Amino acid sequence: MSKQLKWTLDNIRSGFERFQKEHRRYPTANEIDFCAYLPSSRQIQRRFTGGLPALRTQLKLTGPRDFTKGEYSSNRAKQISARAHSLEQEIYHYLVDRFGKMAVHREYFFTDDRRTRTDFFIYHQKGTFSVDVFYPKDRRNLVGCLNSKLRMYSNNMMLEYPVIFLMMNRDITEVDINQLLRNKKKPLLPYQKVMTLNQFKNFCANKRNVA
């Protein structure tokens, strides 16, 4: 179904029901934007007063009306927190095995304000680098995550060190990352890199441990 057709309540209802049959649940706003047989969430916002929550109510859909509030939002926050902890643990153990415990500083603070921090700060024979681990849920979310991190790493103290933005979603490829970086209006600084886990391991393999 084309995004250009005139959307009515009936064909939107059909689209929601089709998604429910395919995925056993109704779509979130981000999923709607990537669904070929539904209008964009922005179109829904313009078409229906109250946006998606109001549309879900009007269609009498089961489940949460607003995915940004209540139990769904709380459970999602817990899942994100648990995943972040698990991924950081994975990278910590990898870095310790590769460089040794004394060379790996976890949750490293660049200043005393406790805001300018990085997940890991690593010493190797020819210098240092920092690692910021993140998990974007899709390619669109990757853009937002990266922009947010670039703003965070704009502090002069943090700009003194190379930083690896380590992207841990295995469904997002090096090709996806390269395409994103080519399309960015403001390019990354030379010592700022976005890497997949495989790229990161290759990067670390070329670094020698502190003697």
Class of domain 80-205: alpha beta
End-to-end CA distance of the chain: 62
The answer to whether residues 196 and 167 touch, using CB atoms and an 8 Å cutoff, is: yes
Full-model pTM: 0.63
pLDDT at 1: 43
- Per-residue CA distances from 13 to 39, 47, 56 (Å): 11, 14, 9
The answer to whether residues 97 and 130 touch, using CB atoms and an 8 Å cutoff, is: no
pLDDT at 163: 93
Domain extents in the chain: 9-68, 80-205
pLDDT at 81: 61
- Residue 136 CB partners (closer than 8 Å, separation 6+): 142, 144, 145, 167, 169, 172
pLDDT at 194: 96
pLDDT at 73: 44
Helix, strand or coil, per DSSP, at residue 121: strand
Residue 19 is encoded by which pair of tokens?
A: 């998604």
Per-10-residue mean pLDDT of the chain, 211 residues long, equals: 65 87 79 80 78 81 56 52 80 95 88 74 93 88 87 75 92 93 88 94 92 67
Distance of alpha carbon 65 from alpha carbon 56, whole angstroms: 6
